[in-house]
Structure 1
Amino acid sequence: MSLKTILVHLANDVEHRTRLKVALKLARQHDAKVFALFIPTPIGMPAGITGRGASAMFLSEASRNAREVADNLEKEFHEACERDGIENAWLVIEGDHVELMSEHAHTADIIIAAQPIIEHLEDHFRTRLPEELVMQSGLPVLVIPRGFDPEIQIGKKVVLAWKGTREAVRAIRDSMSILASAEKVLVLTVGADAGDALSKLEVMEHLRRHGVNGEARNLAEIPDSVGKAILDFAETQSCDLIVLGAYGHTRWRQILLGGVTHEVLADSKIPLLMSH
């Protein structure tokens, strides 16, 4: 799938400029339009805010502060787009982040969102934007990790986590334009499953026909944590992107019991492209 419209989620958080810079860099690489959607409404309520009056006051103040941030960011965005000749759109709108992003995803090719912050047990059960978007929007979601340097080019060396599942097939199709432009794509399987080995041969041929410079890799011994094994492999190989089919098992099962998607999303220091 070609990338011609990039939808980037913006809010009043410390990483919004990073996501915007990544979107602009990706747009230059793929001659794409950037649609920046800034949502001033807070994603969640701080634990210390209790009572209807206090909640309303917090929401009003937070939204007002966010709109001031949006005004300054919009100017930077339009200047950067004009300088580089990038087609663009900017929208500031209040509401539910998942609903608004999913609605505007109908005419986009990829979503850029922030890595969720998981510091407390209850964070596992709150709305976590990338997870909700990959399940509801119908689009691949490029998750930008905390502290990421936006000057790093994403997609030069990619690890494609392969397993013979519908989600993994979808991830390949959704990321094909990125894979085709990569200098190298490492197709990684974990364990010695004969079915996965056979399907990987077919996948390698499929990628070759699309002009992808692919190389098959396997971690024969199944580790205690497949997610950690993927992350360790990607870091050891100096990859700048992980492509992953998300939630082969139910999302709530992964949150409660752990799972590959849950582990990689929570702990990755490398951008992650997820599809479902």
Structure 2
Amino acid sequence: MPIKTILVHLADDAHHTARLEVAVRLAKRHDAHITALFITFPVGMPPTVAGRGASAVFISAGRERARERAAALQKEFDGTCANEGVSHTWVVEDGRHLQALSYHAHVADLMIVSHSDEGEYLEDRFRLRLAEELVFDVGCPVLLLPRVKPVPSIGRHVLVGWHSNREAVRAVRGSLDLLRAAESVTVLTVGPTPEDKLSEHELVAYLARHGIRAEGANVEDRGGIGTTLLAEAKRRGSDLLVMGAYGHSRLRELVLGGATREVLRHAEIPVLTSH
């Protein structure tokens, strides 16, 4: 699928510059439009805030500070895109992050966010799982960036984690433009291919018909699929991992598959994923 609209989460955090840099880089490569979404509602409340009144005061004060910060970020965003000659739109929303991002993803081909931060407190580990929740809630591929500044490169050497199911297929189809622009693409399977699944060779042939030259590889499972994929990405010098996101929501609790959990929480390179 062509990448023509990129949605970037431009929150007031230390990693927003890296997300903007990657969005601009990809927009120039694919002649795409960037929509930057800034959300004034706080991501979550610290453990010290308790009670309905205190919560309301915290949210109100947080929104006011966010609006002030939004003005500065808009100048940075507009200036960067104008200097790079990139078509762009700035949007400010007052709703909750997951709902607002999911809503605007309906008219985007790719969303860019940062990996979740584990946080200092146990509460943080639940309220800051925005990136993981987005993968299962939005209708477009999600590009998760590692929490490093800047992101050195992305999409030159791509590793595709292939498992021949719906999630992996959606991730591959959502990344065709990125794969086409890559210098090298490796389709990797871990362990033997079950009889009811397509091997890496079938996907390599499929990509060739899209004008994408790729090589297939199979490796033994070394401590879990997620761990193996990350180790292979590092060994091969990959700067992008494409894989399906496996899991489901149970009674509003996000339950990740083992490979997905391992990759989303420990990847040191960008990950493009889809559910």
Which TM-score bucket, shorter chain as reference? over 0.9
1:157 partnered with 2:157: yes
Question: Residue 33 of structure 1 corresponds to which residue in structure 2?
Answer: 33
Aligned pairs for 1:3-42 (under 5 A) are: 3-42=3-42
Aligned pairs for 1:127-276 (under 5 A) are: 128-150=129-151, 152-195=152-195, 198-220=198-220, 222-247=221-246, 249-250=247-248, 259-276=258-275
Measured after TM superposition, the shift of residue 199 of structure 1 is 3.0
Measured after TM superposition, the shift of residue 257 of structure 1 is 7.8
Q: Distance in 1 between matches of 2:167 and 2:259?
A: 13
Residues 203/257 of structure 1: CA separation in 2 closer, same or farther (3 Å cut): closer
Deviation digits for residues 116-144 of structure 1, max 9, x if unmatched?
A: 11245555544622222222211100001
Measured after TM superposition, the shift of residue 99 of structure 1 is 0.8
Deviation digits for residues 103-161 of structure 1, max 9, x if unmatched?
A: 111111011111011245555544622222222211100001111423x2310001100
1:67 partnered with 2:38: no
Q: Note if contact 2:47-2:123 (Cα within 8 Å) is conserved in structure 1.
A: no
Residues 155/204 of structure 1: CA separation in 2 closer, same or farther (3 Å cut): same
Q: State the AA in 1 paired with 2:258.
A: G
* Counterpart secondary structure, 2:199: helix
Q: State the AA in 2 paired with 1:147.
A: V
Measured after TM superposition, the shift of residue 197 of structure 1 is 7.6
Q: Note if contact 1:255-1:262 (Cα within 8 Å) is conserved in structure 2.
A: no
Residues 209/126 of structure 1: CA separation in 2 closer, same or farther (3 Å cut): same
Aligned pairs for 1:80-119 (under 5 A) are: 80-119=80-119
Q: Note if contact 1:182-1:213 (Cα within 8 Å) is conserved in structure 2.
A: no
Q: Distance in 1 between matches of 2:256 and 2:23?
A: 33
Q: Note if contact 1:163-1:196 (Cα within 8 Å) is conserved in structure 2.
A: no
Q: Distance in 2 between matches of 1:237 and 1:168?
A: 20
* Counterpart secondary structure, 2:175: helix
* Counterpart secondary structure, 1:195: coil
Q: Note if contact 2:248-2:256 (Cα within 8 Å) is conserved in structure 1.
A: no
Q: Distance in 2 between matches of 1:167 and 1:115?
A: 19
Residues 185/68 of structure 1: CA separation in 2 closer, same or farther (3 Å cut): same
Q: Distance in 1 between matches of 2:257 and 2:244?
A: 16
TM-score (norm 2): 0.92
Q: Distance in 1 between matches of 2:234 and 2:163?
A: 20
Q: Note if contact 2:116-2:128 (Cα within 8 Å) is conserved in structure 1.
A: no
Q: Distance in 2 between matches of 1:18 and 1:251?
A: 30
Measured after TM superposition, the shift of residue 217 of structure 1 is 1.5
Q: Which runs of 5+ in 1 are unaligned?
A: none
Measured after TM superposition, the shift of residue 98 of structure 1 is 1.0
TM-score (norm 1): 0.92
Q: Note if contact 2:164-2:198 (Cα within 8 Å) is conserved in structure 1.
A: no
Q: Distance in 2 between matches of 1:181 and 1:65?
A: 40
Q: Note if contact 2:4-2:109 (Cα within 8 Å) is conserved in structure 1.
A: yes
Measured after TM superposition, the shift of residue 174 of structure 1 is 0.4
Percent identity over the alignment is 46
Range moving further from structure 2, 141-150 or 53-62: 53-62
Residues 196/126 of structure 1: CA separation in 2 closer, same or farther (3 Å cut): farther
Q: State the AA in 1 paired with 2:129.
A: R
What is the aligned length?
273
Q: Which runs of 5+ in 2 are unaligned?
A: none
RMSD: 2.1
Q: Note if contact 2:248-2:255 (Cα within 8 Å) is conserved in structure 1.
A: no
